Structure 1
Amino acid sequence: MFVIITYDVNEKRVGKVCKKLKEYLTWTQNSVFEGEITKTQFLKCRKAVESIIDPMQDSLYYYIIENPRHLKKELHGHEKGDMDIFF
């Protein structure tokens, strides 16, 4: 499956969240990670990141695309991450 994770966390935790997400996904923009991942990897990633944040102050959004063939992505501007999977 293809997953996009966005987050808005207190700056005290940003580094930890970013570092953890880099273990599983590709960084594409500030506070945005995406990539192909198995359901098991996704559950591990989600559990790890959720253990870092404070749900009273921080937020995580998970966009899960079961079939990436139905995903269309367009970029305008500077590319920060690797988009090879789309071409």
Structure 2
Amino acid sequence: MYVILVYDIVVDDEGKKILPKVFKSCKKYLSHIQNSVFEGDMTKSQMMALKLELQKSLRKDKDSLIVFSSRDQKWLSKEFWGKEDDKTSKFL
């Protein structure tokens, strides 16, 4: 499945420690495209592994993470408004 993942970590004292962990976990499975945004293809088992890994770090009362998924990237369109910095140029 094709996934777009977006997170928002509250950067307080604890959040400063959580943020690099979340970034590193996401980077293992997906391509980093902008600040706290990642995208890429994943299997269901990879998605489950990432979810379990992130649940160890995310604080349910402060942090948020949204995952958009589709069967295939071809069902989504990508359009740049402003600076075009396509770090995923390998994707069509």
Note the residue ranges of structure 1 that are not aligned, 5 or more in a row.
Answer: none
Task: Compare CA radii of gyration and give the structure with the larger one.
Answer: 2
Q: CA RMSD in A?
A: 1.3
Aligned to 1:79: 85
TM-score for the superposition, normalised by structure 1: 0.89
**Displacement over 3 Å in runs of 4+:** none
| Secondary structure of 1:46 counterpart | helix
Choose the corresponding residue for 1:46, options 46, 51, 58: 51
Aligned to 1:30: 35
Q: 1:28 to 1:57 in 2, by over 3 A?
A: same
TM-score for the superposition, normalised by structure 2: 0.85
| Secondary structure of 1:82 counterpart | coil
Note the residue ranges of structure 2 that are not aligned, 5 or more in a row.
Answer: none
Alpha carbons 1:29, 1:80 under 8 Å: kept: no
The percentage of counterpart residues that share the same residue type is 33
The alignment of Structure 1 onto Structure 2 pairs a total of residues equal to 86
